[in-house]
Every structure is written in structure tokens, then in C-alpha cells.
């Protein structure tokens, strides 16, 4: 066991980890930040996506010990300072971009990474970017709408093709 | 205009705030003090005899508390099956025991043999590898038809064969059906497979068992769609724990799609082991484990035939289906290919004579049970593929052939030859709506544009009917169900007028906390924010049957309406007392009680306060308090229907099919929250398109699962579909429930697979590949290419 | 997964020293190693992280060669190679998904040599040199069949040197579940001739398609491939495609890569 320190959602946090402790486990068990979900064991589903030093990373596919000193943002860190829903979160609620909520933390974090890189993505770009995030509930259409709305674009009608 | 938060409003979901901020409470988020972890050692062979288990090394390992085997469950029952189907000779189905841990034999890859409980999950898993299981491999039974051959290896030694049942429906019609085929002007037939699928809710299953020795009481936290059903099945049939000593909690659940209906061995194990060890026991499934332990869906092989007269009227339909049950009977498994499938074989059509034969077969594969749509997608796929093929063979327009044979709006209620009575519907209207929304008229121009780019474009249609809102208890009882299918609700009005509703339904993505509140808000005329919906905990909700079969609003919502009406009745009596008027003269509007024709009124909270502070109150006639419970048992199924249009583009070089637009025109009856309904349809479409193009659960001939992870089981992604247009403006309200609602959860998954396949075949035919009459799902690029070049 | 010791050296020398230990294994982006450890297919005694070694990261041009540090992520290559070697940048940008690209590295990909991976096609298709802590290996010698390379025990890749082509492109037909290549072609045109590398298709891993190279070297156009078909012999057959289908895709993807490369 060794101690790992990270800045998580702006706060310095530490927990004891084994070599095999994954970032997802560090967050969920070590820090009790259970917003980050685990939906697979082959690194495909993206339910676990968080930002590490500003970049989207699958927290189930990174060792906590390899991230000493990293800045991590999870879905718990996405609300406004007053506790109200942040811009991306609000768009997901407004456009019904979630149902069971299980994929949602990963979707929100991937969206944050996308919009940081590409503030006005097209529908194609959004669909492509979300390739690593699986949602079984929504059929994605409302997620895509929510992402585009979060980027300030009109989503009244998503084109048919 | 609907009120902001009443019936018909697209109220934003209140549950979203906790999900979007990471504050959902899913079962895996629950960690109890002193918790231990279990890992199941599962069979890696499909079929084998257990000769011996040596767990001594494992038991000596760090942190290991105990290794359990079947012997520990001598006094427990098997996992029960909730439905008994009677075969065509009137005999009950063959029903093997389904032990918690494998007894003597393993029967599928993933069958649990031992359970290791340790201080940490990693220790449990490490120790499981130190267990030596001596297994004599037996020949696996994988192919359904081979399983039924004389002399085939038996999955269950104590059964007479691998046949669970051979079901005929309606058996008495069989000769008349055959006669109609003999006299038919045209007969069209098709052999097809309904591919095996894995439900794959994004949250894997989790169970946490807890035991309180002081009260001798058990609590199970589990990822379930129906906690009361689990309490009943596990308490009464497996572990012999009376209801009052067993609490089952299904907190936030990350999707289910059927796979979380059933009672699973892991739930019983954790509940039981927590008592043995006097410590909480937690199991979290990995995704890989889910693939070999969650019940699968579909997996039918069918031959279907349609007889038509010279004028192209459908005169008879007959089918023969092989339905895979897997190695054991999961909770509802026997009912899926029978009562949820055979009864739907009339589709939207006036086919007068129908005979359905289903042979349910045991194989050395994971048990198969309901998956979104359950039986109805299989029925719809057969009918709608066959009608399309018929149109092609007869050289008529597939739309016109359907219209000609549709049940007409004036013919409802309509008694089909397969037992059910459709109460309402207007299939011509949904078909017209779909064609309008899909710009069918402009298709030819779009096709030409695709052709100019070397791509093949096609348009496919399907019209579906489903029976949902399950189900009338007395009817399903006759059909073999071992439970009722009512729903319950308690409405507790608090002293200040706020309202707590306890529903037996369960929400795992459907948004009940929002929609159910809309219903009550509308009925009473109070702000929806003063209403809270509780579900998922057997300790505070009345016995309910849970959420599946598109039943929550139609059955659960109806129970809420019923309970709320009781509340209103009583509240009116209190108001009458306060206003010194007769109860009959009291009107409730916008949360205010008034005496008809006067300006005398008292508001909602005035009445609720009087109910709990009964100083000025008719105590001789009326109990204090304002809390009512109701059970609603539907008198019929509900019958949503709709027309689906799918436009695809096919790349002839690679065989890849892209969905360009998908139009769903559904008749769901009345709608409470259009936004949520639309989301339900989107999700269903994605799963149906997934079945048609991407998803396939495949075993090799040794019973090894080839598609056992997301590396090989293709989950639909954002990039795999686009252009959904969903309409629900065609409304024929359900005639027998108080809200006039039909249910919308499964429709998308039911109607879409045939629309997609029909579109692909259409594209191929328009490009001259007329020899291709069918391609089995999923239509992968490789299969399409092979068909084109075969 | 099994437990292990975790070390994170700051230099190649320290990494090589750490890797001399028993059952030690390098960890780069972890996008392959971690899932395989979860499945208990891989059980190192210690993991030596390469992500804290600055000299292993970066993309830089040296004359007609692009040099990429082994621990450079796919995302960084997609970004930093775009100007000098757009065909390679586009390939890197198609690997997996954004989160995988933010962690996965070129060194890890080449060391792993998955028969469906993308980078092996670029390395073989450019005739790259794989530079390790102890030697330089030509791509033609490096890839030795699926999951097999010329690397020795404890040897680590430090960089990859890719000759920059006049024109190049990667055409990938995605295996829809895993997002790896079902079959993909990397085509690169040099003054000396054309190289074509195919990944995803063969039971022997990445390979060069000699007939196509010959045809394209005399006429770099998709039409030059007319009539050329690859044999289905030793092609991978699985749920996602038959051997014949993969052989067919070899032709289609090569043609598409040539068309995308332009002239
Ligand atoms: C969802 C998903 C999708 C993917 N899609 C694709 C795809 O489309 N195309 C594709 O090509 N790949 C794909 N990958 C694989 C991805 O590109 C990996 O990142 C890559 O194959 C391995 O690189 P890594 O840095 O993650 O290596 P690691 O996982 O850290 O290591 C892989 C192996 O290489 C060894 N190793 C690592 N670095 C070195 C080194 N410098 N010297 C010697 N040995 C070393 C390790 O010991 C290990 O055995 C995908 C992965 C995932 C999870
Ligand atoms: S849990 Fe990380 S990708 Fe699935
Ligand atoms: S909302 Fe349930 S998985 Fe996406």
C-alpha cells in the first residue's frame, strides 16, 4: 500500500492504494465519490470517464499510483459553485439526455472534454466523439441534442441525415 | 395547453438532478459496515459432471472467510420458475431444478460452482483460483434441433428429454388452418432466426445481503426491476424467510430491459451467506460475468407461412418455432415464446385462422428470458418480414397489402383468433402518419442521389401491435402464471397537504418520480413539487409487481389514480363538513374545494390539516387521516401499435448498412409526458436497430460464448444511428384503464427490427439483387456482402 | 487483477534497470495491459511505468523522418504529426475513442502488435525503424506474427522513426464492437516506390501486400488495383467477418486509401 495524492474537483485528496488500485476504485472506494461508474471490464463503455489534467480518461483503465499529483475532475465537480446544475448538466436535463443515469457521468465528462476542444461541434462530430461512451437507454439522439445545446447551438431539429 | 407539471406536459425529470451530479444511489454505491465480498467460481465448460471440489487451499488464504458449495444449500429450494406452460397434450412443461450453486453437474459456461467470501473482493477472487474442481466434461447440447433428436445428450438427466414443452395454439384450430392452406391461392413462407441478445443494462447486477441477528431479519439490496417479486420468490421458495423478516430494496437501478426482472442465484446467496457469516455480503458483477450470468433474450428459430386468397386477403397463418430456454428455466422464460408471442401472431391483420407451434428446448447455454419486448418482437418480426416478402412475391405494394388486410378502425373491439381482444386502434392512421413524416414521396429522388454516389438506398416498413400493460391476473392465472399481475399504490397525504406516493412499480430510467407526480398533481390540482414518489423498498411500498411489459403507467399509474380517487372522495367529505354542505355538492378544482354554485371554498391544505388535526371533523362518520391504498388489476391488456419507416443506405462494396432516417408513428393512447415517451421510443429503436444490424450473442459448438464482452458483442453507439422522428399524435385511448394509456416502453424495440431488415432487402432489390429474399439478423457487413456475392 | 509492485522511473536507464527484475513489465498507456490484467491474462510481478520519462514523449521532424517517442499518446500524434505527416495523424486519430487516445501510446501499440491494431500498419507501411534501448529494428524484421515482435525480454521501445512519404492514407473498416480494425490498409508513396500494409485481416498479423505495391508503384491510382484480389488463405474468420470477406476488404480498403492519399 502507498499513499497517493491528487487534486480532485479542486480539493487535495489522498488515499491509500495498492499497485492494482484503479483510478475508478480510488475515486469510488477511496474517496467515496460514487458518481463515477464502472460498466465494463474491457475499457469500452466509458461510464467511468473523468478528466485527468483536463483530458478525458477512462478511470477504469488507469492506475491511481500512476497519477500522483494529477488534477482530476469527476461529475461531482461539474455543478456551479452555488450547487445548481452546470451548463452541460443543465442541457442534459433540458433535452432528456439521460434515463437510468448510469452512463451519464461519463457522458457529461466526455462532453466537457469535447467542448473544451471544439466549442461548436457539428452533430457528426458529437456522434463521433462519443464513440467511447455507451448508453443503453436513450438511443443517443437526446444526448447529442444535449451536447449541442450545451455548446449554445440550436437543436430544434436535428437533421434526418 | 397542459399545466406545467400536469398530464400532457413535458415536465423535466426531477430525478435528473441527482443523476447528473453524481448523487444517484445505485446498489454498488451501498457499502455496509463490516461488509464482505463474494466471488463466484463459475464453470468454464458448457456441460460437465462435478467429480470433486477441493477448496482447502483457498480456505487457508488471506482474508478468506468461507467457501460455499451446493452442499451448503441442502435445505434451500431451487430458484423457482414463475410460469407453468401446459403443452399441446395438456401436460405440464418439464421443469428442472435450478440450484443456487451447481449440484452434481454444470450446465452452462458461467454456472456458479462455488462461492468464495473474503474480506476484500480481490482476496475472494484470488482464492477462487486456488480451488480445484474436478469436472468430467460431457458433450454439450447447443443446437436446438440437435437437442431434440432421439438419443441426444440430456441437459438434465432426470428429465425425459431436452424438450421443455411442445405448445400448440390454438390447438383446436390446427386442422382448419391446414385446410385453409390447402385451399389457398398463394402461400408465402419464410424461415428465420431471431438472434440471441444480451440485455446489457449499463449497470451490471449487484446484490448486498445483510442480516440483523437481533431481529432475525434480512435485508437484500439488489439491482431489480421488481423488489416485491424477489421478496416473494426468494423468501417463499428458496430460503424460507417470511415476508415480515425480509426486506428487499432496489434503489436507483441503471437500466434493466428485462434482465433485472428475474430472481437470480446471487441474490439468494448473498442473503443467505450474510446470515451464516453474520456480516453483510456483497457481490458486484463484472461485465464479463454479466454476459454469462444475466438471462439472455430472444433466440428463436421459426418457419412461418401465410396463406392468401386470390384477392390477396390473408386467410391463414401457421408457424413452427424453436425457442431456446437455456440450461434452466428463468423466472418468466416459459411464457415468452407462448403467451407473449403466440397471442400476437394476428399482428394488425384480419387473418381469420392462426396456428402457432412452439417447442421450447433446454440447451447448455445461459437461461433465456424476457428482453425488451419479450415475445412480441419475435412475433412482429416474423409477420412483418413475411408480409413484405408476400408483397414482393405477389408483385404488389407492401403498403397496400398491409392496408388491405388491416383491421379497420370501426372493427374494434376486435377478437383475434389467438385469444386476445384488441380494444382500440387505428392502423390506417399510423401508417398514413408515418408515410407523411418520412417524406415517402421524396424517396425516389433520394435514392437516385445515393445511386449517383454508388450507394444503394432502401425504404422499409413495419407495422406492429403489442400486448402490454400486463396483465389481468385471473387470465394469466389460467395461462400458467404463478403470480398476479396487478399493481399497487399508497397515497399518503401529509398534514400540510404535501403528498407521498408509494408505488409498487419500479423506475430504472423511466422517470416515474416525474410522471407519477404529474398524474397526481393533475388530479388534485396541486403543485407537482409537493408530491414525492417512493418506490423500490418492500418495507414501505405495498406489494407490487414491478416494472416490465410496458406496464408502469397503464397498471401502476392506474393504481395511483385509484388510490388518489379514494383520497379525493374522502377529502370531499371533509370539505363538505368544513363548508357545511353535502359531499355531492363539493367540487375539486385547482387544489380548491368549493360548493357548487356558491363562492364557499376551502383549499387543499385546509382539508388535509383538518384530517390530521380533527378538531372540527365528523369523527363519528369518518376516520381522521388521509391515506389510501389501492390495487389495480387490469381487465385486459393494452394494445399500442404503430407504423415504422426506416431508410437505409447500403455500401455495395463493403455491405455496410447505415440508418439515415427512422420514423416512428405510434399510438400509445393518452400521453402523460411526451418528452419521456419520446425518450422511451428512442431507446427502444436503438435496441431494435442494434438487434437488426449489430448485436449477436453467439455460442460455438462447444457451448463457449464467442461474444462474451464488448470486444465482440456490438453495442449500438452514437455513430450507428441518426435521424429519429417520433410521433405519437395518433391517439385511440385505451378503453379500460382510467388514464386511457397504453404503454410505450417496448414499442421501439418491437417495431424496428423488421423495418430495418425490410429496408435493407428493399435496397438490394431495387439494385437488382432480387435473389436475396432474406438475410438473418444481425445484418452485418460480412453477411450482406456474402448475400450479394453468394 | 493480481497485485504487483508499481514503479515509476524518471529515465530510460532506470526503467531498463527496473525491468531487469523478475516478472517486471513495462506499462505505457495501459489501454491494452490493464484490461488484460483485469482478465487475469497477464500477471506481472512489478509494473514499470514509462509515462514519467520525458525523453520518451514527443513528435519531431528530423529531415525526411518523423521521430515519435514511444510514450507519445495517440492524441498527441494526431495533433502534432498533422502538419508533417497527415496520413499518420489521421491514423492516430482513428484509434479507439478519445479517452483511449489520451492514454494509449505508439510504443505500447507496437510492442503489443495486436493483429487488428492500427499503428503496425503505419510502421510497416512506412518501413519505419523501431528504436529500442539497445538497438534499431527495421519494421520488416520487427513484426513476427500476431502479438509477436522482435523485442527481447526487458527490451523497451524508446522511439519510432518513420520516413515521411510524399502521400499517404489509412483506410480503416471498423470492427464495430471493439473499434479496432476489421481490416485496414495503410498506403504510402515514396520516390522509391509504394508500400502497402494491411492490418486486421491476417492470422499472421500485419503484412505487406506485394502485388498491390508493385501495381501502385507504376501507377499510383485506385484503378491500378483493378483485377487484383487478395487470397483468403490464412485470413482471420470470426463473428464479424469471414476470411473471404476480409480478403475482399483488403482490396476495398487499399483502393480507398489510395484514393484518399491523392497523388
Ligand atoms: C476501447 C479501446 C479501443 C481501442 N481501439 C484501438 C484501435 O482502433 N486501434 C488500435 O491500434 N488500438 C486500439 N486500442 C488499443 C490502444 O491503442 C492501446 O493503447 C495500445 O494498443 C497499447 O498502448 P498502451 O500505451 O496503452 O500500452 P500498454 O497497455 O501500457 O502496454 C501494452 C503492452 O506493451 C508493452 N509495452 C508498453 N510500452 C512499451 C515499450 N515502450 N516498450 C516495450 N514494451 C512496451 C506492455 O508491457 C504491454 O505488454 C484500443 C483500446 C481500447 C481500450
Ligand atoms: S468502466 Fe471504464 S470503460 Fe467501461
Ligand atoms: S441513461 Fe441509462 S445507460 Fe445511458
A133-137, B195-199, B589-593, C38-42: segment of lowest average pLDDT: C38-42
The Cα–Cα gap between A67 and B508 comes to 34
Nearest CA among C97, C79, C98, C99 for reference residue C89: C79
Q: Compute the average pLDDT of residues C176-188.
A: 98
pLDDT digits (tens, 9 = 90+) for B539-551: 999 999 988 888 9
Answer yes or no: is pLDDT of B403 > 60: yes
Answer yes or no: is pLDDT of C243 > 80: yes
Domain C167-262 has CATH 3.30.390.50: yes
Query: Which ligand is closest to the CA of C16, given by its number?
Result: 1
Answer yes or no: is pLDDT of A99 > 50: yes
Q: What atom in ligand 3 is closest to the CA of residue A137?
A: 2
B 639-658 → A contacts, CB under 8 A: 647
C97 Cα to the center of ligand 2, angstroms: 12
Q: Compute the average pLDDT of residues B750-778.
A: 98
The CATH fold of domain C54-163: 3.30.465
Cell 439521460, residue located: A98
Which residue is closest to B653 within chain C, CA to CA?
C252
Rounded to a whole number of angstroms, the CA Rg of chain B reads: 27
Q: Compute the average pLDDT of residues C201-229.
A: 97
Which residue is closest to A124 within chain B, CA to CA?
B719
Class of domain A87-150: mainly alpha
Which of A103, A105, A133, A144 has most ligand 3 atoms within 8 Å of CB, for mutation? A103
Does the model's pTM come out above 0.90?
yes
The Cα–Cα gap between B176 and B313 comes to 17
In terms of Cβ atoms closer than 10 Å to its own Cβ (0-12, 13-18, 19+), residue C39 is middle
Answer yes or no: is pLDDT of A2 > 90: no
The Cα–Cα gap between B358 and B356 comes to 7
The angle subtended at Cα A55 by Cα A113 and Cα C164, nearest 5°, is 105
Check if A132 has its Cβ closer than 6 Å to any atom of ligand 2. Answer: no
Distance from CA of B266 to the nearest CA of C (A): 21
Between B781-789 and B747-766, two packed helices, what is the crossing angle to 10 degrees? 30
Collapsing DSSP states into helix, strand and coil, what is residue B654?
coil
pLDDT digits (tens, 9 = 90+) for B483-526: 889 999 999 999 999 999 999 999 999 999 999 999 999 999 99
Q: What residues in chain C have their Cβ under 8 A from chain A's Cβ atoms?
A: 1-6, 8, 27, 30-31, 34-35, 37-39, 46-47, 49, 51, 75, 96-100, 102-103, 177-179
- Smallest CA separation from ligand 2 atom 3, residue: A43
Contact B679 A85 (CB under 8 A): no
pLDDT tier at B790, thresholds 50, 70, 90: confident
pLDDT digits (tens, 9 = 90+) for B283-337: 999 999 999 999 999 999 999 999 999 999 999 999 999 999 999 999 999 999 9
Contact B786 C3 (CB under 8 A): no
The Cα–Cα gap between B297 and B372 comes to 8
A108 Cα to the center of ligand 3, angstroms: 12
B neighbours by CB contacts (3+ pairs under 8 Å): A, C
What are the C-alpha distances in Å from B549 to residues B144, B172, B519, B743, C89? 27, 28, 20, 8, 49
Between 3.10.20.30, 3.20.20.70, 1.10.3720.10, 3.30.230.10, what CATH number should domain A2-78 receive? 3.10.20.30
Contact C252 B653 (CB under 8 A): yes
* Structural domains of chain B in order of their starting residue, each with its CATH number: 16-23+486-632 (3.30.365.10), 31-138+205-284 (3.90.1170.50), 142-195+296-395 (3.30.365.10), 423-465+637-790 (3.30.365.10)
Answer yes or no: is pLDDT of C215 > 60: yes
pLDDT tier at B3, thresholds 50, 70, 90: low
Nearest CA among B355, B354, B356, B358 for reference residue B321: B358
Residue B227 in contact with residue B221, Cβ under 8 Å?
Answer: no
The Cα–Cα gap between B713 and B195 comes to 12
Q: What atom in ligand 1 is closest to the CA of residue C172?
A: 8
Most A-contacting residue of B15, B19, B747 (CB-CB within 10 A), to test interface? B19
C44 Cα to the center of ligand 2, angstroms: 22
Answer yes or no: is pLDDT of A161 > 60: no
Nearest CA among B322, B222, B316 for reference residue B264: B222
pLDDT of residue C87: 98
Nearest CA among B333, B322, B327 for reference residue B155: B327
pLDDT of residue A157: 54
pLDDT of residue B1: 39
Between B674-689 and B747-766, two packed helices, what is the crossing angle to 10 degrees? 50
Query: Which ligand is closest to the CA of B683, given by its number?
Result: 3
pLDDT of residue A158: 52
Contact A102 B687 (CB under 8 A): no
Question: Shortest CB distance from A43 goes to which of C27, C31, C46?
Answer: C31
Check if C16 has its Cβ closer than 6 Å to any atom of ligand 1. Answer: no
Answer yes or no: is pLDDT of C169 > 80: yes
Residue C160 in contact with residue C111, Cβ under 8 Å?
Answer: no
Distance from CA of A151 to the nearest CA of C (A): 18
B254 Cα to the center of ligand 3, angstroms: 7
Q: Where are the beta strands (DSSP E) in B43-185?
A: 48-54, 64-68, 105-106, 112-118, 132-137, 163-169
- Smallest CA separation from ligand 1 atom 27, residue: C108
Distance from CA of A45 to the nearest CA of C (A): 10
pLDDT of residue A1: 81
Residue ranges of the domains in chain C? 5-49, 54-163, 167-262
Distance from CA of A68 to the nearest CA of B (A): 23
Answer yes or no: is pLDDT of B597 > 70: yes
pLDDT digits (tens, 9 = 90+) for A56-97: 999 999 999 999 999 999 999 999 999 999 999 999 999 999
A23 Cα to the center of ligand 1, angstroms: 18
pLDDT digits (tens, 9 = 90+) for B697-728: 999 999 999 999 999 999 999 999 999 999 99
Which residue is closest to C172 within chain B, CA to CA?
B654
Report CA torsion sign: C56, C59, C60, C62. Answer: positive
pLDDT of residue A159: 44
Q: What atom in ligand 1 is closest to the CA of residue C104?
A: 19
Which of A104, A106, A134 has most ligand 2 atoms within 8 Å of CB, for mutation? A106
B20 Cα to the center of ligand 3, angstroms: 11
**Mean pLDDT over all residues of chain B?**
96
Nearest CA among B519, B561, B558, B550 for reference residue B639: B550
Q: What atom in ligand 3 is closest to the CA of residue B509?
A: 2
Cell 407451434, residue located: B357
Nearest CA among C89, B718, C118 for reference residue A129: B718
- Residue C1: list chain B partners with CB under 8 A: 122
Cis peptide bond upstream of B471, omega within 30: yes
Which residue is closest to A44 within chain C, CA to CA?
C178
Answer yes or no: is pLDDT of A160 > 70: no
A132 close to C (CB below 8 A): yes
The CATH fold of domain C5-49: 3.30.43
C neighbours by CB contacts (3+ pairs under 8 Å): A, B
Q: What atom in ligand 1 is closest to the CA of residue C94?
A: 8
A neighbours by CB contacts (3+ pairs under 8 Å): B, C
Answer yes or no: is pLDDT of B354 > 60: yes
C-alpha cell recorded at residue B26: 445505485
Amino acid at each position: 500500500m502507498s499513499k497517493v495524492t491528487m487534486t480532485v474537483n479542486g480539493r487535495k485528496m489522498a488515499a491509500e492504494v495498492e499497485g492494482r488500485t484503479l483510478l475508478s476504485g480510488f475515486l469510488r472506494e477511496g474517496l467515496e465519490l460514487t458518481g463515477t461508474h464502472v460498466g465494463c471490464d474491457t475499457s469500452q463503455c466509458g461510464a467511468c470517464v473523468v478528466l485527468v489534467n483536463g483530458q478525458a480518461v477512462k478511470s477504469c483503465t488507469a492506475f491511481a499510483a500512476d497519477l500522483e499529483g494529477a488534477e482530476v475532475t469527476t461529475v461531482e465537480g461539474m455543478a456551479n459553485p452555488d450547487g445548481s446544475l452546470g451548463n452541460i448538466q443543465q442541457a442534459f436535463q433540458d433535452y432528456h439526455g439521460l434515463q437510468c443515469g448510469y452512463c451519464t457521468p461519463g457522458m457529461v465528462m466526455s462532453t466537457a472534454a469535447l467542448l473544451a476542444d471544439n466549442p461548436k461541434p457539428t452533430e457528426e462530430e458529437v456522434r463521433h466523439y462519443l464513440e467511447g461512451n455507451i448508453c443503453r437507454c436513450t438511443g443517443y439522439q437526446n444526448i447529442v441534442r444535449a451536447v449541442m445545446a450545451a455548446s449554445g447551438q440550436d437543436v430544434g431539429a436535428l437533421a434526418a441525415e | 395547453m397542459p399545466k406545467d407539471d400536469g398530464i400532457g406536459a413535458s415536465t423535466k425529470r426531477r430525478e435528473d438532478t441527482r443523476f447528473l451530479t453524481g448523487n444517484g444511489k445505485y446498489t454498488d454505491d451501498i457499502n455496509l459496515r463490516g461488509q464482505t465480498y463474494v466471488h463466484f467460481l463459475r464453470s468454464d465448460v458448457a456441460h460437465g459432471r462435478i467429480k470433486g471440489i477441493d477448496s482447502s487451499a483457498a480456505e487457508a488464504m488471506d482474508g478468506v472467510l468461507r467457501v460455499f458449495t451446493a452442499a451448503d444449500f441442502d435445505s434451500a429450494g431451487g430458484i423457482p420458475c414463475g410460469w407453468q406452460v401446459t403443452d399441446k397434450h395438456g401436460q405440464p412443461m418439464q421443469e428442472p431444478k435450478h440450484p443456487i450453486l451447481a449440484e452434481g453437474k454444470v450446465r452452462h459456461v458461467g454456472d456458479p460452482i462455488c462461492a468464495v467470501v473474503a474480506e476484500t473482493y480481490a482476496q475472494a477472487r484470488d482464492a477462487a483460483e486456488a480451488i480445484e474442481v474436478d469436472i468430467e466434461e460431457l458433450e454439450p447440447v447447443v443446437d436446438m434441433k440437435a437437442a431434440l433428436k432421439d438419443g441426444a445428450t440430456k441437459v438434465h438427466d432426470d428429465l425425459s428429454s431436452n424438450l421443455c414443452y411442445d405448445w400448440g395454439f390454438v390447438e383446436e384450430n390446427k386442422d382448419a388452418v391446414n385446410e385453409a392452406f390447402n385451399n389457398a391461392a398463394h402461400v408465402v413462407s419464410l424461415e428465420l432466426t431471431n438472434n440471441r441478445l444480451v440485455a446489457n443494462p449499463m449497470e451490471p447486477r449487484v446484490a448486498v445481503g445483510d442480516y440483523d441477528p437481533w431481529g432475525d431479519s434480512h435485508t437484500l439490496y439488489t439491482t431489480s426491476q421488481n423488489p416485491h417479486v424477489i421478496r416473494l420468490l426468494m423468501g417463499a421458495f428458496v430460503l424460507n424467510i417470511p415476508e415480515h423478516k425480509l426486506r428487499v430494496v432496489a434503489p436507483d437501478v441503471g437500466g434493466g430491459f428485462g434482465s433485472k426482472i428475474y430472481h437470480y442465484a446471487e441474490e439468494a446467496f448473498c442473503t443467505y451467506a450474510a446470515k451464516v457469516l453474520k456480516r453483510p455480503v456483497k457481490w458486484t458483477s463484472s461485465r464479463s460475468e454479466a454476459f454469462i450470468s444475466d438471462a439472455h433474450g430472444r433466440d428463436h428459430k421459426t418457419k412461418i407461412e401465410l396463406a392468401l386468397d386470390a384477392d390477396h386477403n390473408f386467410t391463414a397463418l401457421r408457424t413452427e418455432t424453436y425457442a431456446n430456454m437455456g440450461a434452466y428455466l428463468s423466472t418468466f422464460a416459459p411464457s415468452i415464446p407462448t403467451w407473449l408471442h403466440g397471442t400476437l401472431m394476428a399482428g394488425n391483420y384480419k387473418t381469420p385462422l392462426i396456428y402457432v407451434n412452439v417447442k421450447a428446448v433446454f440447451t447448455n447455454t445461459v437461461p433465456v428470458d424476457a428482453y425488451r419486448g419479450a415475445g412480441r418482437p419475435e412475433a412482429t418480426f416474423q409477420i412483418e418480414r413475411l408480409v413484405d416478402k408476400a408483397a414482393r412475391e405477389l408483385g404488389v405494394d407492401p403498403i397496400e397489402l398491409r392496408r388491405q388486410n388491416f383491421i379497420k378502425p370501426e372493427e374494434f373491439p376486435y377478437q383475434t383468433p389467438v385469444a386476445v381482444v384488441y380494444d382500440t386502434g387505428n392502423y390506417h392512421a399510423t401508417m398514413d402518419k408515418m408515410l407523411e413524416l418520412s417524406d415517402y414521396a421524396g424517396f425516389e429522388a433520394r435514392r437516385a442521389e445515393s445511386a449517383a454516389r454508388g450507394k444503394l438506398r432502401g425504404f422499409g416498413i413495419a407495422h406492429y401491435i403489442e400486448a402490454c400493460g400486463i396483465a389481468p391476473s385471473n387470465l394469466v392465472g389460467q395461462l400458467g402464471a404463478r403470480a398476479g399481475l396487478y399493481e399497487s399504490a399508497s397515497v399518503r397525504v401529509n398534514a400540510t397537504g404535501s403528498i407521498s406516493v408509494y408505488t409498487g412499480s419500479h423506475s430504472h430510467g423511466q422517470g416515474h418520480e416525474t410522471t407519477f407526480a404529474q398524474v397526481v398533481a393533475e388530479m388534485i390540482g396541486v403543485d407537482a413539487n409537493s408530491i414525492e414518489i417512493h418506490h423500490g423498498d418492500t418495507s414501505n411500498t405495498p406489494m407490487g409487481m414491478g416494472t416490465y411489459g410496458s406496464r408502469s403507467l397503464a397498471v401502476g399509474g392506474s393504481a395511483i389514480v385509484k388510490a388518489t380517487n379514494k383520497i379525493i372522495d374522502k377529502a370531499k367529505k371533509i370539505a363538505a363538513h368544513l363548508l357545511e354542505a353535502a359531499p355531492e355538492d363539493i367540487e375539486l378544482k385547482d387544489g380548491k374545494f368549493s360548493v357548487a354554485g356558491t363562492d364557499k371554498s376551502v383549499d387543499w391544505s385546509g382539508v388535509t390539516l383538518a384530517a390530521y388535526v380533527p378538531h372540527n371533523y365528523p369523527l363519528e362518520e369518518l376516520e381522521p387521516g388521509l391515506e389510501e391504498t389501492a390495487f389495480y388489476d387490469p381487465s385486459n391488456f393494452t394494445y399500442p401499435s404503430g407504423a415504422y419507416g426506416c431508410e437505409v443506405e447500403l455500401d455495395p462494396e463493403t455491405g455496410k448498412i447505415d440508418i439515415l432516417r427512422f420514423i416512428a408513428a405510434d399510438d400509445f393512447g393518452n400521453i402523460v409526458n411526451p418528452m419521456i415517451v419520446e425518450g422511451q421510443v428512442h431507446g427502444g429503436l436503438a435496441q431494435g436497430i442494434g438487434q437488426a444490424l449489430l448485436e449477436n450473442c453467439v455460442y460455438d459448438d462447444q457451448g463457449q460464448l464467442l461474444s462474451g464482452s464488448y470486444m465482440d458483442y456490438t453495442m449500438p453507439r452514437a455513430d450507428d444511428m441518426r435521424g429519429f422522428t417520433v410521433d405519437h399524435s395518433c391517439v385511440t385511448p385505451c378503453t379500460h384503464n382510467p388514464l386511457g394509456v397504453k404503454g410505450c416502453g417496448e414499442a421501439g424495440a418491437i417495431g424496428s427490427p423488421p423495418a430495418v431488415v425490410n429496408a435493407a432487402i428493399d435496397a438490394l432489390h431495387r439494385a437488382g439483387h432480387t435473389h436475396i429474399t432474406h438475410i438473418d439478423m444481425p445484418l452485418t457487413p460480412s453477411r450482406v456482402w456474402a448475400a450479394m456475392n453468394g | 487483477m493480481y497485485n504487483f509492485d508499481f514503479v515509476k522511473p524518471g529515465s530510460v536507464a532506470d526503467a531498463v534497470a527496473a525491468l531487469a527484475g523478475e516478472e517486471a513489465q513495462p506499462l505505457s498507456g495501459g489501454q491494452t495491459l490493464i484490461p488484460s490484467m483485469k482478465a487475469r491474462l497477464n500477471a506481472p510481478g512489478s509494473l514499470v511505468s514509462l509515462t514519467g520519462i520525458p525523453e520518451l514523449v514527443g513528435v519531431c521532424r528530423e529531415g525526411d523522418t518523423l521521430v515519435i517517442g514511444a510514450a507519445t499518446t495517440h492524441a498527441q500524434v494526431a495533433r502534432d504529426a498533422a502538419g508533417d505527416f497527415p496520413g499518420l495523424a489521421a491514423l492516430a486519430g482513428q484509434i479507439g475513442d478519445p479517452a483511449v487516445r489520451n492514454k494509449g501510446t505508439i510504443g505500447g501499440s507496437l510492442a503489443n502488435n495486436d493483429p487488428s491494431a492500427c499503428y503496425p500498419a503505419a510502421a510497416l507501411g512506412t518501413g519505419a525503424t523501431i528504436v529500442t534501448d539497445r538497438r534499431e529494428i527495421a519494421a520488416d524484421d520487427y513484426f513476427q506474427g500476431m502479438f509477436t515482435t522482435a523485442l527481447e525480454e526487458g527490451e523497451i521501445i524508446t522511439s519510432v522513426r518513420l520516413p515521411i512519404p510524399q502521400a499517404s492514407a489509412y483506410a480503416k473498416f471498423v470492427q464495430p464492437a471493439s473499434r479496432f480494425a476489421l481490416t485496414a490498409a495503410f498506403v504510402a508513396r515514396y520516390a522509391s516506390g509504394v508500400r502497402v500494409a494491411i492490418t486486421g485481416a491476417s492470422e499472421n498479423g500485419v503484412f505487406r501486400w506485394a502485388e498491390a505495391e508493385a501495381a501502385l508503384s507504376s501507377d499510383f491510382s485506385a484503378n491500378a488495383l483493378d483485377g487484383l484480389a487478395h487470397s483468403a488463405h490464412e485470413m482471420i474468420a470470426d463473428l464479424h467477418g469471414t476470411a473471404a470477406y476480409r480478403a475482399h476488404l483488403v482490396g476495398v480498403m487499399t483502393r480507398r486509401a489510395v484514393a484518399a492519399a491523392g497523388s
